[in-house]
Amino acid sequence: MKSLLKNSLIIIMAIGFFTSCGDMSKKVEEKLNQLEQKTNQLDSLVNDEVDKVMELDTLINFENDKIKKLDSLINKSSAKLDSIANKKNNLLKKIIN
């Protein structure tokens, strides 16, 4: 009888152990699924922010090109104004002399 009780107790303990391992496995799987969902959300957020940075970079490059064109235009206009001023200055010097 004691032998049967010992064997039954061992079998019950083994079943309990395997059942608790199965529950732990389910909990671990749930936690891994949650972690994967959070990782996907974070990845999506990072991708959105990278896209915003790329848009800003494109906008900065576009505005930089505009500034270069304006700078070139200002330099040309300045050179023309200097040329006109020099001509007028030379004419004034001729009149004075």
Letter string b/e over residues 32-65, b meaning 16 or more CB atoms within 10 A of that residue's CB:
eeeeeeeeeeeeeeeeeeeeeeeeeeeeeeeeee
Check residue 94 and give its pLDDT. 84
Q: Does residue 12 surpass a pLDDT of 70? A: no
Question: What is the distance between the alpha carbons of residues 50 and 47, in angstroms, rounded to a whole number?
Answer: 5
Q: How confident is the model at residue 55 (pLDDT cuts 50, 70, 90)?
A: very high
* pLDDT tens track for 61-70: 999 999 999 9
Question: What is the distance between the alpha carbons of residues 46 and 52, in angstroms, rounded to a whole number?
Answer: 10
> pLDDT > 70: what percent of the chain?
75
Neighbours of 27 (CB within 10 A): 10
**pTM, entire model:** 0.55
* pLDDT tens track for 32-49: 999 999 999 999 999 999
Token pair of 86 as six digits:
């020099």
